[in-house]
Structure 1
Amino acid sequence: MAAAAGALILAGCGSDDGSGDDATEAASTSTAGSGEFEPVTVDNCGFEVTVDSPPERVVTIKSTSTEMMLALGLADRLVGTAFADGPVPDEYASDLDGVPVLSDNVPGQEALLDVEPDFVYGGWESNFGADTAGERPSLADFGITTYVSPAACQEPAYQPNPMTFDELFAEIHEVASFFGATEAADTLVAEQQALLDQVDAPGEGLTALWYSSGEDAPFVGGDIGAPAMMMRELGVENVFADVEASWSNVSWEQIIDRNPDVIILVDAAWNTADSKIERLTNNPATAALPAVAEERYLTLPFPAAEAGVRNAQAVVDLAAQLEELGL
């Protein structure tokens, strides 16, 4: 199993002559719920990340990274966002007032450099490439620190296997450490744990399919990613628990053969839950599945389907939907 979110390595407590202390303290104390900042170095998906002072100009790519910043009370550090998977929760909507959206997808390097970030937080490793926001070493040459959600690391040595809420909480603490926001992280993790404590495996004894997207080859939740993490909290058995991947393409024949008791549908603007239901009901083979015939569906928004601060609430919401089915 990968080490949770990478081991933190304290890199010292600053220079002896005190130069830069005032700026560092100001940057740290401007954050709600912050604690004392200490320089830190982490191994992030195999890339060394060193933060000597709290970043002040942050760009986030993907909803998971944007919402992590907002949940930690770090909206004031944002100078741009990109690649949103959907609207942020209502409680954070006003926090993004005045923050430019650099792109509906991954921003190009020119658009990224235009806002002069000192830190870029990506939800996927693929956000950092020569044909996207720029490769991580080249951005480092511009003085830009980069960080990828550890849940999205692709190398086996770094990929969480399986993803757990402890891994997610480790990311919360790790991100917070870059900004001296330790108290905010403690509060957020406690809130998330309190949500999980409300759920007592209501789906025990049931099987479930996590259907994310796909027509010819359905894209489903496997055994090691965020979907499996949430299904474990619900107590349901993943019908594709034998797939050692976060997500994977499978066949309709496999789904029919495994005959899930319930189907969890990811709702995205470009691939809605309703469109998936229509696909399932219009296909005579899947229409015969009891879960389809009896409309045993659970739904969650796409931004809650990837590892991030929405997952705990998603477990609560899915549990309530499951109980309403009365199975």
Structure 2
Amino acid sequence: MPSRRTSSAVLHPRRPRPRRGAAATSLGAVGLAALLAACSSGTAGEGDPTTDGEAAPSGTAGHGTTATGYPLTVDDCGFEVTFDAAPERVVTIKSSTTEMLLALGLGDRIVASAFLDGPVPDSLADTAAQVPAVAEPLSDQVPGAEAVLGLEPDLVYAGWESNLTADGAGDRETLAQLGVATYVSPAACKAPAYMPDPLTFDDVFAEITEVGEIFDAQDAASDLVAEQRATLDGVTPDDRGLTALWYSSGDDIPYVGAGIGAPQMIMDAVGLENVAADVEDTWTSYAWEEAIAADPDVLVLVDATWNSAEAKIERLESNAATAEMTAVREGRYLTIPFPATEAGVRNVDAVVDLAAQLEALDL
């Protein structure tokens, strides 16, 4: 098989990884190695803009930032990952990681995207249309290890730790043995020593900065952080002491934004008091009886392709108990697309959008 371009990665597990990986086939190191040995140049990265030649260098430091000195080692959710060079062939899993690279002008590095949570925002639509791997995702779930390795990536950039398991895109140790680096969005780290508690916009901006360093794209990262800080600073939080429930999914038992994750961070910036803020988690199950008793002033409804805001409104208004909530009676709904609910480059725009929706309500 042809030689592979890789960012050599050494990963040492420090913490166990949690549960969920929605995926295809479990492979051990021997099976993955056998798969790699069978790879051929005619099948890897077909249609990817980097396949026909070396990718153009991205993010060379130019206005006061320092170019990345490789090897670069980062501690990611308890794993030390060493990059010997800027990744050139990246598999992104979840919208948050795909949109991060697009926003940094690194779409040419994406050889496959998967498990996207919805369309990219309008601000990235033109950029995404130019990246075949984003325009036509590899999978609508976590891809299996065979599919990932068949693309010969040098990095798998995952939105959740649970994306990187033997039953998912491959476990981190095995992928490292095969020369494939892994990086998980730091906001999604679950071990107590690494989970942001609470998540802040500084954490979001820190990921942008770190990804910029990994890819030697510091200028693009610096510009993006400065732009987002300025936009966030331009939002005046509502000062009326309005309460809100962030309703993500669920019927008999709603799943809501709790007190330390992206929903709390966004509501704080908008000026809304989260009625589930005392739950020490990013998301939590929440009894309807509690929601009805709290009687929030507004409801923030997550709009997902599999559970739309319209469906939630119908459910709320057709149930005799929830129909008596003030926010339901008065139609006080704010909506947010699901991809904007996880830590990433869309959070600041989500604040702007929700603040505008709140201002438009007749309260």
Q: TM-score, normalised by structure 2?
A: 0.81
Name 2:166's counterpart in structure 1: 130
Any residues of structure 2 matched to 1:14-33 within 5 Å, and which?
Answer: 30-32=57-59
Q: What is residue 109 of structure 2 aligned with on the other side? A: 77
Who is 2:344 aligned against? 308
The answer for the alignment partner of 1:199 in structure 2 is 235
Q: Which digits, 9 at most, give the CA deviation of each residue in 1:146-198, with x for residues without a partner? A: 00001100111100000000000000001111111111011000111121112
Once the two structures are TM-superposed, the CA of residue 251 in structure 1 deviates from its matched residue by 0.7
Residue type of the partner of 1:244? Answer: E
Alpha-carbon distance in 2 for matches of 1:157, 1:173: 20
Task: Name the CA distance, whole Å, in 1 between partners of 2:222 and 2:57.
Answer: 18
Deviates more, 1:129-138 or 1:86-95: 86-95
Distance 1:154 1:297 in 2: 31
Alpha-carbon distance between aligned partners in 1 of 2:224 and 2:352, rounded to the nearest angstrom: 16
The residue type equivalent to 1:174 in the other structure is: E
- Rounded to whole Å, the distance in 2 between the matches of 1:150 and 1:48 is 13
- Are the aligned partners of 1:33 and 1:182 in contact in 2 as well (CA < 8 Å)? yes
**How is 1:273-288 mapped onto 2 (pairs within 5 angstroms)?**
273-288=309-324
Query: 2:175 is paired with a residue of what secondary structure?
Result: helix
Question: Which residue number in structure 2 is paired with residue 20 of structure 1?
Answer: none
Q: Which residue of 2 aligns with 1:118?
A: 154
Is 1:46–2:78 an aligned residue pair?
Answer: yes
Q: Please tell me whether the aligned partners of residues 55 and 109 of structure 2 are also in contact (alpha carbons under 8 angstroms).
A: no
Distance change (3 Å), C-alpha of 1:33 and 1:282 = farther
Provide the aligned C-alpha RMSD in A.
1.5
In the other structure, the counterpart of 2:36 is none
Q: Secondary structure at the match of 1:103?
A: coil
- Residue pair 2:145, 2:169 contacting (<8 A) in 1 also: yes
Report the AA paired with residue 37 of structure 1: T
Q: Which moved more, 1:206-215 or 1:34-43?
A: 34-43
The match for 1:62 is 94
Separation in structure 2 between the aligned mates of residue 95 and residue 116 of structure 1, nearest angstrom: 23
Amino acid at match of 2:337: P
Give the fraction of aligned pairs with identical amino acids, expressed as a percent: 60
CA distance in structure 2 between the aligned counterparts of 1:166 and 1:174, rounded to whole angstroms: 12
| Aligned equivalents of 1:27, 1:209: Cα separation in 2 | 49
Give the match's secondary structure for 1:161: coil
Unaligned runs of 5+ in 2: 1-52
Task: Show CA shifts across 1:98-123 (max 9, x none).
Answer: 22522111000011011110001000
Residues of 1 paired with 2:88 and 2:78: CA distance?
A: 24
Check conservation: 1:28, 1:34, Cα contact below 8 A.
Answer: no
CA contact under 8 A between 2:55 and 2:88: conserved in structure 1?
no
Secondary structure of the corresponding residue to residue 244 of structure 1: coil
Which among 153, 157, 168 is matched to residue 193 of structure 2? Answer: 157
SS at match of 1:105: coil
Number of matched residues?
A: 302
Shift, 1:32, TM fit: 4.8
1:98 corresponds, among 132, 148, 166, to 132
> Which runs of 5 or more structure 1 residues have no equivalent in the other structure?
1-25
| Structure 1 residues 226-264: Cα deviation after superposition (integer angstroms, max 9, x where no partner) | 000001101111000110000000110010011100000
Cα deviation, residue 204, structure 1: 3.7
Match of 1:11 in 2: none
CA shift for structure 1 position 33: 6.3
Higher mean Cα deviation, 140-149 or 89-98? Answer: 89-98
Cα separation, 2, equivalents of 1:286 and 1:95: 42
Displacement of 1:95 in angstroms is 3.2
**CA–CA separation in structure 2 for the residues paired with 1:214 and 1:144:** 37
SS at match of 1:253: helix
Amino acid at match of 1:31: S
1:324 is aligned to 2:351: no
Output the amino acid matched with 2:275.
V
Q: Secondary structure at the match of 2:321?
A: helix
Aligned counterpart in structure 2 of residue 167 of structure 1, from 192, 199, 203: 203
TM-score, normalised to structure 1, is 0.89
2:25 matched to which residue of 1? none
Residue number in structure 2 paired with 1:268? 304
Q: Is this contact kept in 2: 1:102–1:112, CA < 8 A?
A: no
Cα distance between partner residues in 2 of 1:241 and 1:162: 11
Residue 277 (structure 1) shift: 0.4
